[in-house]
Structure 1
Amino acid sequence: MRVPVLYRAYVALSMVLVPFVARATVKKLQRADVPTYRAHERLGNATENRANGTLIWFHAASVGESLSVLALMTRMGEQLPSAHFLITSGTATSAALIEARMPPRCVHQFAPLDAPGPLKRFLRHWQPDAAIFVESELWPQMLRRTYASGATMALVNARMSERSIASWAKRPRLAAYLFDVFDLILTQNDAMAEAMVRLQAPAPKVARGQNLKSFAGPLPQDHDLIFEARATLGHRPVWVAASTHAGEEQGILAAHKRLLEQHPDLLLILVPRHPERGDEVLQLISEAGMSYSRRSSGDLPSGEVFLADTLGELGNWYALSDIVFLGGSLLPIGGHNPFEVAQSGATVLSGTHVFNFAETFSAMEAAGAAGLVAGKEDIPAQVNRLLNDTNARAKAIVAAKTFANGENSKLDTIAARLIKALKLT
């Protein structure tokens, strides 16, 4: 296939910009307490040896994308007992969570920048036999240079925003050049499969897959911490508002204030999506006039609001409540993973802005496994209903767990399909 002019221009521009981008990227990781030698993985400098034998490379960007593929890697590892795995991501947060939950025979590295030098060093060292890219991680040079290395390639959990689809549609030759590298493209839904074909992806290689976030498995829990927290709470009722974003906490705190009128001993566990916003959220709690405790200060849940502004402890807070409201859904952000809530044994509430999980929430609603609130004003009524109606709450919890378990059974099929398409047997 002829190389598009836009691709050539992109490569040339990346060669000019890479010194500046590299410096900024390394400094950002250093500020997040990543050792310098590891930050240089972004320049393609490996810090681990390549194991002998088959190596399967997974590349993801965000925390959610990274964690969503760990169960798939585990299942592929069970079907390919001699294979080894490499997973790359771009942030310190994703690295910390991945390294705590990696399956056997797996190493993590920070992803190389999308420029000739870093990619050449990376591919020369790792020599992956197969490469699996997650969701919307479509870096042009990474795709084409991996393809040129001889690796078989797949795109899983594929999704794009409407804006991204429109942008790619204006560049059909470039889209065709990039999507041609894949041996298999598994999308999250039928609409995305159709969009990929319209964007010049080879139709025979495109199919609807499954939202991999449904396979992420229960979040890790610290049972000693949960025991201490329960002892501190006694018989207090608890609800959780998790993965909240700026502009959402005010409505959630207002809802909690109204709920306290009927349930004066009720505790809200408030978990901002980005823990570094802890001071900002604490100010909102203070302005709302409610007593609080704060996890990053070493506190256990107490007061009227417990600010859970730490990383990697969400599973503990889910274990303390039957009712979890998922943020990123009161504003047009797209929603967050309801499967983690369902697998923890809680009922799922969410706002209506859940386009990242549209099919999932639709199916869960139909099964009685999740409930959507009309807006922030509707939160008190929905939470109050679940607090007061023990039977309705228990029924919703069972429905959520049943739904999550049903999705999990499909993972073996996806693993086998990838193994066949990538010629790994």
Structure 2
Amino acid sequence: MLAERRIFHISGHERRSRTGAIRKGLARLALTGYRVAGILVYPLAGPFLAYRSWKGKEDRLRRSERLGYASQPRPRGPLVWAHSASVGETLALIPLLCELGRRDIHVLLTTGTVTSAELVSNRLGDQVIHQYVPLDLKFSMKRFVSYWRPDACITAESEIWPTTLLELHRRKIPQITVNARISDRSFERWQRHDTIAEALFGKMSLVVAQSDLDAERFRDLGAWPVLVSGNLKGDTDPPPCDPAALQRYREEIGERKTWAAISTFEGEEKAVAGIHKALMPRNGQLTIIVPRHPERSDAIEDMLKTQGLVVARRSRNDPITPETDIFLGDTMGEMGLYLRLTELAFVGRSLTGEGGQNPLEPAMLGCAVLSGSHVQNFRDAYANLARKGGARLIRDVEMLAKAVHYLLSNDVARRKMIDAGQETINEMRGALSVTVKALEPYINPLTVTARLQPKSATAR
């Protein structure tokens, strides 16, 4: 009987091992299929990029960079490739990139959008080499990596590209993710394909996560080692603004009360317009709307005008008059201006949208923060702010209207929220030093090499 149990136990173990081997084999097959599909669609990449350029979503003069062709020479010496997908991720990386520069390490920064490229040019200039990130296709990525030969790759937050991960792993280039987070939706999707996740996440050299929850999720998906730093966005400087423009608009606004709805998504602008109309008789306020995607501004203006509202647009340099209802912030890179014109900000993608947007910038610039409840992408930041009293989450449009009216008419309550928000920001600082310490095994040898080698020459 004991022998039979032992045989049964061994057979069960063998079945589990065989099942695991089959699943790993299927994962390898799926990743191979992904790469082969990339090879097959590569001839269509040129027309695809041309179409996106026509739509204004690619830089027409630099779209060859998306195929891995370099537009600048590679400098001689150690070089770290850093990648950030969006404007927010780029802002979060800036202090870390400046730290690498202070260590005499060349930084190649790739971004995926035209707006991110403009931000890099304005904020970093020639402190980094900027290129558009190549498409996650074998020929593009191979060409890119062969030219730039990075000594390490640092990505921000949650960028996972299979071909890129596999190509860097094949070349033994360390792959590090900093300020790492993973949304509820992404985590659930990766869990459904856990063997593929393990095959990819297991190739990361280091993950530095924003929170304990993010760290646990990365570990569950196969990443190791995983450390926790906090949010790098807490260590960023406040977004700048044009002092002359700020002074002009402050003079035009005068003594009027103001509030802003920033990073709004479709449906939220209409709700904000309704709140403005409801509160105008009592407060006489100016409402500032800053859509997340400025290309929607024409449609937003048309919607506002159909409701009888007077609109001034920043892109047209319209003046703000006593009759102006809405100041439409339809430009990129001027969030610092819009937030300095108010002390109360609703952060969008949280009422009709999903996931939320970064609340740290308005808190940093002295705004009481309001948001809808759908903020899972910034859960930790909102939790910290709400715990101190610097942010309030609201359920619906009616509750938002009541909160806006209360805070516009109650200076003490608004000031209390502002102070709590700035106290929270101060407590959240420190993620940069933790991240740099975690990166030291990778960047210290590069620093030594860089300082022994002149930076003026270029190399192929």
- Please give the range of the TM-score, normalised by the shorter of the 2 chains: over 0.9
Q: Indicate the SS of the match to 1:306.
A: strand
State which of 277, 281, 289 in structure 2 corresponds to 1:270: 289
Structure 1 residues 386 and 404, CA gap change in structure 2 (3 angstroms)? same
Structure 1 residues 276 and 144, CA gap change in structure 2 (3 angstroms)? same
Structure 1 residues 141 and 33, CA gap change in structure 2 (3 angstroms)? closer
Q: How far apart are the structure 1 equivalents of 2:191 and 2:431?
A: 32
Counterpart in 2 of 1:259? 279
Q: How far apart are the structure 2 equivalents of 1:269 and 1:36?
A: 32
Larger Rg: 2
What RMSD in Å do the two structures reach over aligned CA positions?
Answer: 2.0
State which of 250, 260, 263 in structure 1 corresponds to 2:270: 250
Letter in 2 for 1:157: N
1:164-313 equivalences under 5 Å are: 164-202=186-224, 205-264=225-284, 266-302=285-321, 303-313=324-334
Letter in 1 for 2:177: L
Counterpart in 2 of 1:45? 69
Letter in 1 for 2:233: K
Gaps of 5+ in 1: none
Letter in 1 for 2:168: T
1:13-92 equivalences under 5 Å are: 13-29=37-53, 31-32=55-56, 36-78=60-102, 80=103, 82-92=104-114
Asked if 1 retains the 8 angstrom alpha-carbon contact of 2:231 and 2:428, the reply is no
Structure 1 residues 362 and 42, CA gap change in structure 2 (3 angstroms)? same
Asked if 2 retains the 8 angstrom alpha-carbon contact of 1:213 and 1:339, the reply is yes
Q: Indicate the SS of the match to 1:133.
A: strand
Structure 1 residues 30 and 121, CA gap change in structure 2 (3 angstroms)? farther
Q: How far apart are the structure 2 equivalents of 1:120 and 1:133?
A: 18
Asked if 2 retains the 8 angstrom alpha-carbon contact of 1:183 and 1:421, the reply is no
State which of 165, 170, 184 in structure 2 corresponds to 1:148: 170
Structure 1 residues 206 and 35, CA gap change in structure 2 (3 angstroms)? closer
Counterpart in 2 of 1:316? 337
Asked if 2 retains the 8 angstrom alpha-carbon contact of 1:152 and 1:423, the reply is no
Asked if 2 retains the 8 angstrom alpha-carbon contact of 1:238 and 1:321, the reply is yes
Q: Indicate the SS of the match to 1:64.
A: helix
Letter in 1 for 2:261: A
Counterpart in 2 of 1:348? 369
Asked if 1 retains the 8 angstrom alpha-carbon contact of 2:230 and 2:430, the reply is no
Letter in 2 for 1:188: Q
TM-score calculated relative to the size of structure 1: 0.93
Q: How far apart are the structure 2 equivalents of 1:214 and 1:77?
A: 20
Deviation, 1:421, is 5.0
Deviation, 1:108, is 1.1
Deviation, 1:274, is 0.5
Q: Indicate the SS of the match to 2:65.
A: helix
Structure 1 residues 301 and 212, CA gap change in structure 2 (3 angstroms)? farther
Deviation, 1:190, is 2.0
Q: How far apart are the structure 2 equivalents of 1:307 and 1:421?
A: 45
Deviation, 1:261, is 1.8
Gaps of 5+ in 2: 1-23, 448-460
Structure 1 residues 34 and 15, CA gap change in structure 2 (3 angstroms)? closer
Q: How far apart are the structure 1 equivalents of 2:58 and 2:295?
A: 16
Q: How far apart are the structure 2 equivalents of 1:71 and 1:396?
A: 27
Counterpart in 2 of 1:411? 432
Letter in 1 for 2:405: N
Larger RCO, structures 1/2 (Cα 8 Å, 6+ apart)? 2
Deviation, 1:402, is 2.1
Which ranges of 4 or more aligned residues in structure 1 deviate by more than 6 Å? Answer: none
State which of 378, 381, 388 in structure 1 corresponds to 2:409: 388
Deviation, 1:406, is 2.6
Deviation, 1:208, is 2.5
Q: What percent identity do the matched residue pairs reach?
A: 35
Q: Indicate the SS of the match to 2:315.
A: helix
Q: How far apart are the structure 2 equivalents of 1:224 and 1:371?
A: 32
Number of matched pairs = 420
Q: How far apart are the structure 1 equivalents of 2:281 and 2:381?
A: 34
Deviation, 1:172, is 3.1
Counterpart in 1 of 2:31? 7
Deviation, 1:104, is 6.0
Structure 1 residues 261 and 35, CA gap change in structure 2 (3 angstroms)? closer
TM-score calculated relative to the size of structure 2: 0.86
Letter in 2 for 1:196: F
Asked if 2 retains the 8 angstrom alpha-carbon contact of 1:369 and 1:399, the reply is yes
Deviation, 1:408, is 2.6
Structure 1 residues 170 and 350, CA gap change in structure 2 (3 angstroms)? closer
Q: Deviations over 1:115-146 (max 9, x none)?
A: 12111111111111110112221111101111
Deviates more, 1:84-93 or 1:59-68: 59-68
